[in-house]
Structure 1
């Protein structure tokens, strides 16, 4: 949108006036798209400039709703967000920040500032280390990455923080036990999932520790879409999509589990040092690098989708704008006090005639476009939030979203699974490999229907990141988690989920099959290199080890796994059939 039109909207009120400069700076027409690039998206940097930082995953939640509206021909969004949509995003993030502040946000009392003197000789632990414990375990992507040597280790040494570095020039099996002791003894685990490696095992390992509730500081970078190369392997768009889906699940698990998701290695190392030197847990730490912690039952972007649908309901002639009277009705439908609207915008209502300032006069003549509607909503909602916060309220206005969002979900997802509600309950969650797989419809679903076992099936035709909170809610309301990781799928996100819920101690049955190492192996049309197969099977091997140590039953035969899940629900076991294999 042109800068002139942004300036014209600057007179809406106190809140939106503050947003104009940030929008103009970050969403100007000359800015190139950053989709798939190394830079943060303009929405991320714009919100950070307003002291409303959110993570990359949360940015994608907002953009995904905006993109959905655009695809349906119901928005004029370009590569980023329109001005009005930006206003709604800002007020939504602000509401959540006020309602669910990160510890220490308001007073700063919990920051990692301490009078403890720095240590003079940091201890370093490598492969030949003794049983001395290090404060930080440097986990995550290894060869060929150099983030430990270039950034983490120098910074930790400067702060006098001890660390264990598992990256060695020559690895041998005896190091497994040494590394395990270092992880167990470390006060904090610092993981980096970078864009130079598939990092499948690292994601699985980190998810397991997140499920356990360990103190974690994590940096997660997506595989870049414009240069998808891992070593000598040129990655297909399909493989990049699967690896980045796994990373999206990692971010989601961290954001709802109390871990710290840092924006860069430097930010993560700084935060780790402050946490340790301040004698804090990760949950007590807050800083500018900490992203908003969104509650599990709220999906960012829902407000924008609701407003668009309400706008369309009242734009009965499909002229792309609402009269002022239509806008009043639309605002009432989303619990905006219309008397506050007139007061806030400086107009008076006399004998059903609206006499207004210059902005309202323009609305009377031209109507409110969706951008205008969103901007005015953001201004009025900000006034409500400020008043509620001043009265000590818990922002109960958010409650109005529940019913409309359940109703609108059918419009957003034409063929969604049954959405769990607060009272929904399932015997089994059917997790694991999706895509072209048919094990749910051909094996699990018929078996459970015959025996009266209720289930939640997350497999949909077109998946996107907005499904993550829906699936997570269903898992939380399921007695048994059945996960099937097939040998003809990559299933990175599924392995991440399994590891997390094993760490959380959930009742689970796992069917796990390695990818075939035969020459010319293809997965969903992708020809995998020997290195790729090794990476994906290493993740499976680590997952099998974690499951075995935590007494999770593991099968390589799907019917046997389904059989075990059914009898876990019934509260008793039957012997495994000869075809079942325990790994």
Structure 2
């Protein structure tokens, strides 16, 4: 029986899926993005990556979750702490991912496509509660602090970004800004010294527009960290990001290895994901970016955002909704043909949506099922079998019926919510209250390779205080790899879970009371520093532990040159400085940093 639609959205989804030959199940990430775009939906690159990575069948994610839910849950409880609340959270998180990855309906099915469409529309229409990060400090205090520290602008534009030996400032930006009659501050000097940091900070604080160019003639470590921080501060930012130098090409006279190239590429993708979530457009052409800067300064307005005209909710994770529906379907499907009888589907969908299947839907299914009958007798709709795609269409269309509200209602609710939060800010966790089941006290971010500082230092210390914690999604996945599996898994596969800053990770961070980032002396930690800088900029409760790389350090089996060590340490210095200026504690000892995070939770 062909899949039946019950709404204009599901009808459009089915038609589009067929046009894209989606039933072949071999869609690439680019194909998936175009599939969404064709129906007016615009998921972020990290959303596409997340749903594609979690649903594709390969040696990567699926092998990581090949254990049954019970044993995997026990493993996570052992590593992440126990307690009734913690058990509920861990069990839910593990099961939703495990169910999603073990499905057998192909890499990306019509069912997953439609559930994703429904979820994006649901959030876009204002039916899902948007809450600030659990670690977010009082917005009024941050606003008052910003006002008290602000001074009248001295420069229109601060020219941030890649420095020596790049010449984009003198060759392109400065002549154009002079032509526009726009004042600027150029931080590029012949020889950079640490003492210049404070001077640059003053210029940044006074500029109307922050203009950044992330070039590929240098590693651009420090300037990417700066840009990620600025993106979190709600300042006017115009940014150009070029692709990193390819492996084997020279940067400052030194060849870039394949492994370092992957780290630099990951850093740029993280930066683009951060910008997309903050609705900041990433330019590829400096001339176009300068024209936009001229418009922003002359019209005293904000830069045009990255969101398309259609439906876009870049920070929303789509994977859990897909996992929930998949788990429900797997719970009742036949072991013989993998399908579900409508009798069972009715009960399961009622549990998922809180409503009975509309009679009109049942009539359509019954009518469609009459076609294949050979004897002309009637058919009992309860005996009709449906596949996962039809089950997903039913789910999405039933959920849409539950949440049909007008645009005026949405606008009114948004205004009311904004006014309430501004005048009567209410923390997500009342003073002295317990955390929600899906939240944790401390997010253990930072280095994920090298020594296991989480298991050896952080987790035991947090357990002493009865505090719950969460770790990066990639760390949770990679902990499941056995030595035998490791022989068959390429290193790039192991790291694929954190190749982009996925919404699932953002949710992980947002649901934590304190954010601890440990930047060790064993890794480059470029992407980790970008995330840390961004949440410092957003005014969250952050604790940093920063260790400088030592001369001659070996990372991924490669000895770093003196120049490389200097570049990555400069990034650490910038992160430490911007954190200190924001009142964020910075430590060098991991245990001290963990104790500080615990103390912040207990206060």
Instruction: Name the TM-score, length of structure 2 as normaliser.
Output: 0.65
Counterpart position of 2:467: 454
Counterpart position of 1:105: none
**Alignment RMSD:** 4.8
Secondary structure, aligned partner of 1:347: helix
The runs of 5 or more residues in structure 1 that have no matched partner are: 36-40, 102-130, 349-353, 397-418, 572-583
Q: After superposition, give the CA deviation of every residue in 1:109-128 in whole Å (9 maximum; x if it has no partner).
A: xxxxxxxxxxxxxxxxxxxx
Q: For 1:289 and 1:447, locate their aligned partners in 2 and report how far apart those are by CA, in whole Å.
A: 48
On the 8 A contact 2:279/2:307 being kept in 1, the answer is no
**Distance change >3 Å, CA 89–CA 508, structure 1 → 2:** closer
For residues 215-294 of structure 1, the aligned pairs below 5 Å read: 215-218=236-239, 231=251, 232-237=254-259, 239=260, 242-243=263-264, 245-247=266-268, 249-250=270-271, 253-254=274-275, 258-262=278-282, 264-265=284-285, 275-276=296-297, 278-281=299-302, 288=308, 292-294=312-314
For residues 172-211 of structure 1, the aligned pairs below 5 Å read: 179-193=200-214, 198-211=219-232
Counterpart position of 1:469: 506
Counterpart position of 1:162: 182
Secondary structure, aligned partner of 2:353: coil
Counterpart position of 1:537: 569
Counterpart position of 2:51: 62
Counterpart position of 1:108: none
**Distance change >3 Å, CA 421–CA 150, structure 1 → 2:** farther
Q: After superposition, give the CA deviation of every residue in 1:372-424 in whole Å (9 maximum; x if it has no partner).
A: 33344444444555x3347947999xxxxxxxxxxxxxxxxxxxxxx973685
Q: Is 2:105 the counterpart of 1:85?
A: no
**Distance change >3 Å, CA 19–CA 356, structure 1 → 2:** closer
Q: For 1:155 and 1:54, locate their aligned partners in 2 and report how far apart those are by CA, in whole Å.
A: 34
**Distance change >3 Å, CA 197–CA 343, structure 1 → 2:** farther
Q: Is 2:502 the counterpart of 1:488?
A: no
**Distance change >3 Å, CA 161–CA 472, structure 1 → 2:** farther
From 546, 550, 572, the counterpart of 1:516: 550
From 451, 456, 461, the counterpart of 1:442: 456
**Distance change >3 Å, CA 50–CA 568, structure 1 → 2:** closer
Q: After superposition, give the CA deviation of every residue in 1:414-459 in whole Å (9 maximum; x if it has no partner).
A: xxxxx97368563x54433232323333334444545x36352526
Instruction: Name the TM-score, length of structure 1 as normaliser.
Output: 0.67
Shift of 1:555: 3.6
Q: For 1:265 and 1:289, locate their aligned partners in 2 and report how far apart those are by CA, in whole Å.
A: 22
**Distance change >3 Å, CA 429–CA 326, structure 1 → 2:** closer
Q: Is 2:32 the counterpart of 1:17?
A: no
Q: For 1:307 and 1:391, locate their aligned partners in 2 and report how far apart those are by CA, in whole Å.
A: 31
Shift of 1:542: 1.3
Whose RCO is larger (CA < 8 A, sep 6+)? 2
Q: For 1:359 and 1:169, locate their aligned partners in 2 and report how far apart those are by CA, in whole Å.
A: 77
Shift of 1:315: 0.1
The runs of 5 or more residues in structure 2 that have no matched partner are: 63-100, 129-151, 374-378, 414-433, 479-496
From 311, 319, 343, the counterpart of 2:360: 343
Q: For 2:223 and 2:601, locate their aligned partners in 1 and report how far apart those are by CA, in whole Å.
A: 32
On the 8 A contact 2:247/2:261 being kept in 1, the answer is no
Q: For 1:29 and 1:146, locate their aligned partners in 2 and report how far apart those are by CA, in whole Å.
A: 50
Shift of 1:55: 1.8
